[in-house]
Amino acid sequence: MSGADRPRPVPAGSAALRQHATLFSNRGTAAGEARPSALHSVAPKATRRRRAKVGLKYRRQRPIGREADFAGGQRDVETRRAMRSKGTRAAIIRSRGHCGFSAGMCDKWIHRAMQSSLKKVDIARLRKGMFIHKICGKWLDHPFWRGSFLIADEKTLEKLRSFGCREVWIDTGKGLDVESAPPGPASRVDSQDGGVVRKRKAPAGLPAEARTDFASEVVRAELIRDRAKAAVISLFGEARMGKALNMDGAVDVVDEISRSITRNVAAILSVLRLKEKDDYTYLHSVAVCALMMALGRQLGIEGEALQDLGLAGLFHDIGKIGVPDAVLNKPGRLDEEEFAAVRKHPQLGWDILRNQLEVSPTVLDVCLHHHERCDATGYPHKLSGDALTRAARMGAICDVYDAVTSERCYKKGWEPADAIRRMAEWQDGHFDRDIFHAFVKMIGIYPVGTLVRLNSGRLAIVLNQSEKSSLKPTVKVFYSTRFDTHVPAGLLDLADASDAIVGVEDHAKWNFNIPMLMRN
């Protein structure tokens, strides 16, 4: 084909473009037939190839400006502007020029633009029910540990409006659109600084979970444990592969454990304490998550800060994926080289988590410093005093308690009451005294699941802590040592009874099935 026969790229919107479109629409049309429009013509295959070659050559001569877009990768600037102004199919083609692009390619661009559910809106236009896809600016500059979330209550909305961001991206496919959002309270813009002035509202809380008895909640707690274990295995696997962590899945685990704690804290903690040594690596993370949130509640922490503590517990040992399994599961004592490898896991975990956009500073802090001690004998940085945050001190206590009460490949777990006693002996050097006392009040001097001997000669299992005294929990009596036989099981609140605990028994010596006795 000669150069005169080839279609030439022409400027968008010119008379030459209309003439060019007419030329293509006339090709392949028999006499007397209706001529298709330039926008709907179907050219022969050879012609389409020639157009593509011409278009490629033209694009090399004059690159088309593009910019990044969240809704589908790279998209032409003029195309998106045309769509925002409710442009038609023809407007998009005019905005791009002919440039050798086929009508089918333009259809593809139109479809992607029309399917996009992302929208950039001013912070003042946000309403409850919208889904935040991305907050404009650096993630460290805003107080949210997740980059995308639903505006579920007025508290979240107030926080969004107060920290200084002007624009956010919303996803109308997951939440309300600007036009469809219910009318919110009126707000006025200060003409001097452009800030939004609003009346402060009381936060809308979620409905409270109803308290349940131990036997009912322990069944639900076992299901939560299994789901949480699967989620942690998946998260650790993603970290090993260098993939982004599924933070939404982690949040679901934390929220589920939090609800179980609200219903009956004793049930979930007792279920998570009883674990096989082969499951330790993953269930230890779940147990520390539950302990951190239970201790946080004891200290009066709530809301997003409490959720951060749960996530911190869930991820505190993620750095162990960088420690060889032969070292972690070694039945004997570790040598210096092996112990040095283990001591690297806080830093390894911090390196993994710091690259995740939705991880809060609390999670990073606990991951890096849960092995620090108040007397500066810990690792990796030998911090002490005010250099340790409250969250890191909480993490140290929860991590040690679950570790010493769990059966490991190299040791047998301590009884909970014995663990509390020994940790109390270490508290002046290892732990924060005030936080440890709060932990003991939460977990009890006789923790749930402890087998105790009463003054009457009967054996009982601790089921719940008493508000009146840590020494007088609610127990389940089931055995008489005087007659060496089982007795009808019954609950006994020692705070209101004449009987009292005189000692702790080793359940292995008696060969009792403690989990079964606690459930029935």
Per-residue pLDDT of the chain in tens (520 residues, 90 and over written 9): 444 444 454 444 444 444 444 444 444 444 444 444 444 444 565 665 655 554 544 444 444 333 333 333 433 444 444 444 444 444 444 444 444 445 555 455 444 444 557 788 877 778 888 888 888 765 555 666 667 888 888 778 777 776 667 778 888 877 788 754 343 433 333 333 333 333 323 333 444 567 888 888 988 999 999 999 999 999 999 999 988 899 989 999 999 999 999 999 989 998 898 777 767 889 999 999 999 999 999 999 999 999 999 999 999 999 999 999 899 888 888 899 999 999 999 999 999 998 886 789 999 999 999 999 999 999 999 998 889 999 999 999 999 999 999 988 878 888 888 999 999 988 777 899 999 999 999 998 898 888 999 999 999 999 888 878 888 999 999 999 999 999 999 999 998 899 999 999 987 788 888 778 887 7
Phi, psi of 132 (to 5 degrees): -80, 120
CA proximity to 403, closest of 312, 294, 281: 281
Rounded Cα distance between 90 and 108, Å, is 13
CA distance between the termini of the chain: 90
**Amino acid, single-letter form, for residue 208:** A
Owner of token pair 């990044």: 68
Q: What DSSP letter does each residue of 56-70 carry, written as one string?
A: HHHHHHSPPPEEEET
> Do the beta carbons of residue 281 and residue 262 sit within 8 Å?
no
pLDDT at 506: 82
Q: Which residues pair with residue 485 across a beta bridge?
A: 480
> Do the beta carbons of residue 312 and residue 395 sit within 8 Å?
yes
Rounded Cα distance between 154 and 517, Å, is 45
Rounded Cα distance between 113 and 118, Å, is 10
The gap from C-alpha 253 to its chain's centroid, in whole angstroms, comes to 8
The gap from C-alpha 226 to its chain's centroid, in whole angstroms, comes to 18
> Do the beta carbons of residue 517 and residue 478 sit within 8 Å?
yes
Rounded Cα distance between 81 and 84, Å, is 5
Q: Indicate the DSSP class of residue 236.
A: H
| CB contact set of 216 (below 8 Å; sequence gap of 6+) | 264
Owner of token pair 């004891």: 298
pLDDT at 250: 94
pLDDT at 280: 84
Owner of token pair 């896991």: 345
| CB contact set of 160 (below 8 Å; sequence gap of 6+) | 123, 126, 132, 135, 151, 168
pLDDT at 514: 79
pLDDT at 23: 43
Phi, psi of 192 (to 5 degrees): -80, -45
Tokens of 249: 């899945």
| CB contact set of 173 (below 8 Å; sequence gap of 6+) | 117, 131
Q: What DSSP letter does each residue of 81-108 carry, written as one string?
A: HHHHTT--HHHHHHHH--TT--HHHHHH
* HSE value, Cβ hemisphere, 13 Å, CA-based, for 479: 17
> Do the beta carbons of residue 246 and residue 146 sit within 8 Å?
no
> Do the beta carbons of residue 127 and residue 176 sit within 8 Å?
yes
CA proximity to 256, closest of 194, 470, 248: 248
Q: Indicate the DSSP class of residue 372.
A: -
> Do the beta carbons of residue 187 and residue 198 sit within 8 Å?
yes
pLDDT at 372: 95
> Do the beta carbons of residue 419 and residue 439 sit within 8 Å?
no
**Amino acid, single-letter form, for residue 349:** G
